[in-house]
Structure 1
Amino acid sequence: RGPVTADLAADGPHLLVEGPAGSGRTELLRALVASLAAAERPDRLSVVLVDGRDGTGASGGPGDGLRVCTDVPHVTTHLTANDPVRMREFAQSLSAELKRRAELVGRGDFGSRHTGRAVPGRVVAPRESASGAADLDSAPSATIRLRPAAHRRQPERQPSLPRLVVVVDDLDALVSPALGSPGRPAAGSVMRALEAVAREGERLGVHLVAAAGPGGRTAETEPYRLASLRVTLDAPGTGADAPAPGRGLLTLPDGRSTPFQGGRVTGRIPRTATLRPTVVALDWPRMGDPPTRRPVRELGNGPTDLALLASALERAAKEVAATEVPSLL
Structure 2
Amino acid sequence: GVMPPAVTDRAGLLSVLSEAEHWTRPVRPEGQRRPAAKPRRRDRTMLLIVASLPSAVTDEDLARVTALAQAGPAAGLHLVIAGWPPMPLRAGSPVEALQSSTHVALRTSHALVGGMPFATSAPPAGPSPAEVWPGLSVPVQLDSDPSSHLMQHVSGELADRLAAQGHAHLMDLLPDPDHWWAESSADGLSTTIGLSGDAPVSLHFTDLTPHWLVGGRAGAGKTAFLLNVLYGLCTRYDPDELQLYLLDFTDGGALRQFTPTEDDPSWLPHAIEVAVGAGRETGLSVLQSLDRELHRRLALLNDAGVARFGQLRAAGALIPRIVCIVDEFNKLLSGTDEVSVQAAALLESAARQGRATGIHLVMCSQAPRSSPLFGQFLVRVALPGGGDVLEANNDSAASLPLGCGVVNTAGGLGGPRGATRGHEKTVRFPDPHADAQVLSALRQRLWQAREPSSAPPLVHVALPVPRPPATGKEALA
- Rounded to whole Å, the distance in 1 between the matches of 2:434 and 2:258 is 13
| 2:384 partner letter | D
Query: Is 1:219 equivalent to 2:386 in the alignment?
Result: no
Matches within 5 A, 1:281-292: none
Structure 2 match to 1:67? 256
Q: 1:233 is matched with which residue: 372, 383, 393?
A: 383
2:247/2:286 contact within 8 Å kept: no
Q: What displacement does 1:12 show? A: 1.5
Q: Residue 214 of structure 2 contacts residue 363 of structure 2 at CA under 8 Å; is this kept in 1?
A: yes
Secondary structure at 1:17 match in 2: strand
Q: Measure the CA separation in 1 of the matches of 2:208 and 2:238.
A: 21
Partner residue, 2:325: 167
Greater shift, 8-17 or 196-205, is seen at 8-17
Gaps of 5+ in 2: 1-197, 260-266, 387-398, 412-421, 461-477
**TM-score where L is the length of structure 1:** 0.62
CA contact (8 A) 1:28 1:262 kept: yes
* Distance in structure 1 (CA, Å) of the matches to 2:340 and 2:211: 21
Q: Is the 8 A contact 1:84 1:185 kept in 2?
A: no
Partner secondary structure for residue 311 of structure 1: helix
In the alignment, the residues of structure 2 paired with residue 173 and residue 85 of structure 1 have an alpha-carbon distance, to the nearest angstrom, of: 11
Q: Aligned pair 1:248/2:405, yes or no?
A: yes
- Which residue number corresponds to residue 111 of structure 1? 310
Number of the residue aligned with 1:80: 276
TM-score (norm 2): 0.44
Distance 2:281 2:425 in 1: 42
**CA displacement at 1:213 relative to structure 2:** 2.8
What residue identity is the alignment partner of 1:250? V
- 2:294 — aligned with what? 98
Q: Structure 2 vs 1, CA of residues 91 and 173 (structure 1 numbering), >3 Å: closer, same or farther?
A: same
Taking the TM superposition and a 5 Å limit, the aligned residue runs for 1:1-329 are 1-9=198-206, 11-53=208-250, 56=251, 63-70=252-259, 71-80=267-276, 82-83=278-279, 85-106=281-302, 107-108=305-306, 109-115=308-314, 117=316, 160-176=318-334, 186-214=339-367, 218-222=369-373, 224-235=374-385, 245-253=402-410, 256-269=423-436, 303=437, 305-318=438-451
Write the deviation string for residues 186-242 of structure 1: whole angstroms up to 9, x where unpaired: 233223211111111000000001112345xx21240x2210111111249xxxxx9
Change (3 A) 1:19 1:98: same
Distance change (3 Å), C-alpha of 1:197 and 1:26:
same
Of 307-316 and 12-21, more deviation after overlay is shown by 307-316
User: In the alignment, is the contact (CA less than 8 A) between 1:66 and 1:169 conserved in 2?
Assistant: no
Gaps of 5+ in 1: 57-62, 118-157, 237-241, 270-302
CA distance in 2, matches of 1:185, 1:65: 27
Aligned-partner residue type, residue 110 of structure 1: F
The 3 A distance-change label for structure 1 pair 88 and 174 is: closer
- Partner deviation per Cα, 1:132-173 (whole Å, 9 max, x = no partner): xxxxxxxxxxxxxxxxxxxxxxxxxx6x52111001111222
Paired with 2:424 and 2:205, the residues of 1 have a C-alpha distance of 16
CA positional deviation for 1:9: 1.8
In structure 1, give the amino acid aligned to 2:331.
Answer: A
Distance 1:170 1:115, change over 3 A: farther
User: Higher RCO, 1 or 2 (CA under 8 Å, sep at least 6)?
Assistant: 1
Contact 1:168-1:211 within 8 A present in 2 as well: yes
Q: Does the CA contact (< 8 Å) of 2:249 and 2:331 recur in 1?
A: yes
Q: Secondary structure in 1 aligned to 2:203?
A: coil
Partner of 1:59: none
- Residue 256 of structure 1 deviates from its aligned partner by 1.3
Give CA-to-partner distance per residue, 1:56-84, whole Å, 9 cap, x none. Answer: 1xxxxxx1332223332111111135445
Q: Deviations over 1:90-130 (max 9, x none)?
A: 3332221111110012241211323555xxxxxxxxxxxxx
Partner of 1:290: none
- Which region of structure 1 is more displaced relative to structure 2, 35-44 or 71-80? 71-80
**In 1, Cα distance between equivalents of 2:404 and 2:385:** 9
> Separation in 2 of the partners of 1:112 and 1:315?
32
The change in CA–CA distance for 1:249 and 1:88 in structure 2 (over 3 A counts) is closer
Q: Secondary structure at the match of 1:42?
A: coil
Q: Supply the distance in 2 between the matched residues of 1:47 and 1:30 (Cα, whole angstroms).
A: 13
Alpha-carbon distance between aligned partners in 2 of 1:168 and 1:89, rounded to the nearest angstrom: 13
Instruction: State the alpha-carbon separation in 2 of the partners of residues 210 and 247 from structure 1.
Output: 18
CA RMSD, Structure 1 to Structure 2 (Å): 3.0
